Amino acid sequence: MRTLRVLTVATALFVTPALAGDTAKKPSTPAKSQPPSEKKPMSLHDLSANRLDGKAEKLSDFQGKVLVVVNTASECGYTPQYAGLEKLYQDYKDKGVVVLGFPSNDFGGQEPGSSEDIKKFCELRFKVTFPMFEKVKTKGDGQSPVYAFLAKDHDAPKWNFHKYVVGKDGQVKAGFPSKVTPESDELRKAVDAALAQP
């Protein structure tokens, strides 16, 4: 009986280190996760952009608002739409709508100025009060993450003053080409529909 106990203890001592060694050789592999820089944004609110004064702004600051996002230009045939966009903003801002302007030089080189030039032009010529951001690329190499997200499931801008309606949840609800003016029924109906959603 004593011999059996000694054998049992000896066996336990022999087997346990072997098992421990086996475990040490096979560490559990952690699940791979994408680096933060490569993560795809789930909504516009996951992104940020610089205002014309160079200050970064989280687009999550607009969570719960309906957004009309527009690529603007100062020397375009559609530039007078700035006035309509400002009126849209004034008409709807108390209802929870914000117009966001993103200047771009992508089409016809019609936004050649600096941030300071753009700011002066918008304020003096059109009395713009809605948020304006630094110049971005809306397509191709160096495309802004904002426009990569906006154009993911909707047409990318084909010219200046393309408009996207973004819901309170940060998802794109509709897109409109340049010829659809800020005063148009179809744009305002899309804004109203987005406001009606939670």
Looking at the annotation, which residues are catalytic? 76
Distance of CA 99 to the CA centre of its chain: 14
In this structure, the strands spanning 97-103 and 66-72 are parallel
**Closest among 137, 99, 105 to 118, alpha carbons compared:** 105
Cα–Cα distance measured from residue 81 to residue 59, given in angstroms and rounded to the nearest whole number: 23
Cα–Cα distance measured from residue 166 to residue 150, given in angstroms and rounded to the nearest whole number: 9
Cα–Cα distance measured from residue 128 to residue 140, given in angstroms and rounded to the nearest whole number: 29
**Closest among 110, 64, 92, 96 to 182, alpha carbons compared:** 92
Cα–Cα distance measured from residue 53 to residue 133, given in angstroms and rounded to the nearest whole number: 8
Largest CA distance in the chain: 103
- How many other C-beta atoms lie within 10 A of the C-beta of residue 14? 9
